[in-house]
Structure formats: C-alpha cells, structure tokens
Amino acid sequence: MIGNDIIDLDLAKRESNWQRKGYLNKIMTTGEQELIHNAQNPHEMVWYLWSLKEAAYKIYNRQTQHRGFIPLRLECKEFEWNGTDHYAKVYCGIHEFWTQTRITKSCIDTIAVGEKDNLKKVVSLHSKAGIEKKNGIPFRIVDAVLKPVSISHHGRYERIVSLIE
C-alpha cells in the first residue's frame, strides 16, 4: 500500500493559519506540539507533520475502509534525517506506516508505505494515463495485477506515485 501528500508551503501559508487559537490542539499530539514549538522553522514543521498524517491516512483509509477526520490518532514518531530525506513512522492504533519526505523551500513531498521495504519500490508516474478508480481509490493495472497509486495535488505541485516489484 502507498499514500502520499504534497504541500505547497506558500499556499499553505495563505490557506491556513495554524497559529489560530485551538488549531494545533485539534490536530497535533502533545509531543508533536512540542516539536513545533522547539523547531527552528515552526511553519515547516507543522506542514511536515501534517503531510505525514495525510499520507499515512490514505493507506489507513484503504486498508480499513474507514473514513474519519482522525489527525490526533495518527502519531508521528521516530524521526531521522540522512542529509537528504526525512524519515519517520506514523502510528494509528495497531497500524504503522513508514514515511520518507523531501523538503525544499516551498514544497513538502511525503510518501508513506505500509511496509518499510516498500520505500525502495516507489516510482513516480508522470501522467494519469492508465489510472483508474475503484471505490474512489486510484490504481493501475500492470501485467493483469492491480497496483495501488496515490495522487496528491496542492497549489503549484502534483505528484503521482506507485509501487513496483
């Protein structure tokens, strides 16, 4: 399974005021709020954590067929950085997800997978050709096998990802 989330940081700044009273309490755990308050760039940290939750939720939603607005139940932990990419894990009850994120000045680009090794099997697709939807969930057919696809679009950015064997 795969989920992704892309955030145009300039658009996020215009669309959302995370400093609004009560806002973070609704979407971030105590530990995540601490990370934000201690971050050198709190704006980037808010949207980084949000992208992890969104990407992980896409997999959770596909696996469980459960829909809900559950940011507080998606907990981001175990952060690592290898100098290029940010890695983390997102927990939701018994479910766990692995994430990989590339952050630039104006864009946060996160991919989540349900099995750690799948991070190595991520491919970017450059068009929506051949992508179909079943129960609102995108997939593509490769050699008669359904491959999950995840699409994210925000402001100036769009990314379509899938898994290869």
Partner 1 sequence: MNRAERINTLKAIVKPFVKNHEAFDTLTEETDFISDLNINSANLVDIVLDVEEAFHIEIDNASMEKMLTIKAALDIIETKLAEK
Residues within the interface to partner 1 (CB under 8 A): 12, 15-16, 20-23, 26-27, 50, 54, 67-70, 72-73, 136, 154
Among residues 116 and 133, whose Cβ is nearest to partner 1? 133
Among residues 26 and 116, whose Cβ is nearest to partner 1? 26
Among residues 66 and 126, whose Cβ is nearest to partner 1? 66
Among residues 25 and 80, whose Cβ is nearest to partner 1? 25
| Closest distance of CB 151 from partner 1, Å | 14
- Return d(Cα 93, Cα 60) in angstroms, integer: 10
- Return d(Cα 146, Cα 51) in angstroms, integer: 26
| Closest distance of CB 100 from partner 1, Å | 21
C-beta of residue 123 within 8 angstroms of C-beta of residue 162 = yes
- Return d(Cα 12, Cα 151) in angstroms, integer: 18
Task: Return the closest-CA partner of residue 107 out of 152, 62, 57.
Answer: 152
